Amino acid sequence: MLIDTVWSYAYGKPLGSAAFKTQPSDFHVREELGFDPDGEGDHVLVEIEKTSMNTRDLVAELIQLTGLAEVDIGYCGMKDKQSVSTQWFSLHWPGHHELPVRGGEHWTVLQTYKHRRKLKRGSHARNRFSILLRDVQADRVLLEKRWQLAIHQGVPNYFGEQRMGYERRNIQQAYAMLARYAKRPPRRLSARESMLASALRGFWFNQVLSRRIELGSWTSWLPGDVVMMDGRHSIFTPEADDADVLDRLKTLALHVTGPLPGGGKAVVGEALLELEQQWLREDQEAIRRMATLVDQQRRSLRLRLQDVHLAWEGDDLRLGFALQSGSYATAVLRELVNFEPESQEQRECDDANSDQ
Strand ranges for 116-229 from DSSP E: 126-137, 155-156, 227-229
Predicted confidence at residue 262, as pLDDT, reads 96
In this predicted structure, the answer to whether residue 191 has a pLDDT above a threshold of 90 is no
More confident residue, 249 or 162: 249
Catalytic residue among 26, 36, 80, 247: 80
| Band of residue 246 on the pLDDT scale cut at 50, 70, 90 | confident
Q: Which of helix, strand or coil describes residue 62?
A: helix
Average pLDDT over residues 233-258: 89
Percent with pLDDT over 70 in the chain: 94
d(CA 350, CA 56): 8
In this predicted structure, the answer to whether residue 346 has a pLDDT above a threshold of 60 is no
Q: Active site includes 225?
A: no
In this predicted structure, the answer to whether residue 241 has a pLDDT above a threshold of 80 is no
Average pLDDT, the chain: 92
Percent with pLDDT over 90 in the chain: 82
In this predicted structure, the answer to whether residue 192 has a pLDDT above a threshold of 60 is yes
Predicted confidence at residue 1, as pLDDT, reads 64
pLDDT tens, residue by residue, 252-297: 999 999 999 999 999 999 999 999 999 999 999 999 999 999 999 9
Crossing angle of the two packed helices 191-215 and 270-279, in degrees rounded to 10: 110
Q: pTM for this one?
A: 0.91
Predicted confidence at residue 341, as pLDDT, reads 55
- What domains lie within the chain, and their CATH numbers? 35-123 (3.30.2350.20)
d(CA 325, CA 101): 29
In this predicted structure, the answer to whether residue 5 has a pLDDT above a threshold of 90 is no
Instruction: Say which range, 18-32, 37-51, 176-190, 293-307, has the weakest mean pLDDT.
Output: 176-190
Instruction: Say which range, 127-131, 152-156, 283-287, 343-347, has the weakest mean pLDDT.
Output: 343-347
φ, ψ of residue 332 in degrees (nearest 5) = -80, -50
CB within 8 Å of 183: residues ≥ 6 apart:
none
d(CA 335, CA 312): 18
In this predicted structure, the answer to whether residue 234 has a pLDDT above a threshold of 70 is yes
In this predicted structure, the answer to whether residue 236 has a pLDDT above a threshold of 50 is yes
In this predicted structure, the answer to whether residue 352 has a pLDDT above a threshold of 50 is no
| Band of residue 187 on the pLDDT scale cut at 50, 70, 90 | confident
d(CA 123, CA 111): 19
Predicted confidence at residue 238, as pLDDT, reads 85
Average pLDDT over residues 192-199: 94
Dihedral (CA of 127, 133, 136, 140) sign? positive
Give all strands of the β-sheet with 254-260 in edge-to-edge order. 235-236, 227-229, 254-260, 297-300
Average pLDDT over residues 297-317: 97
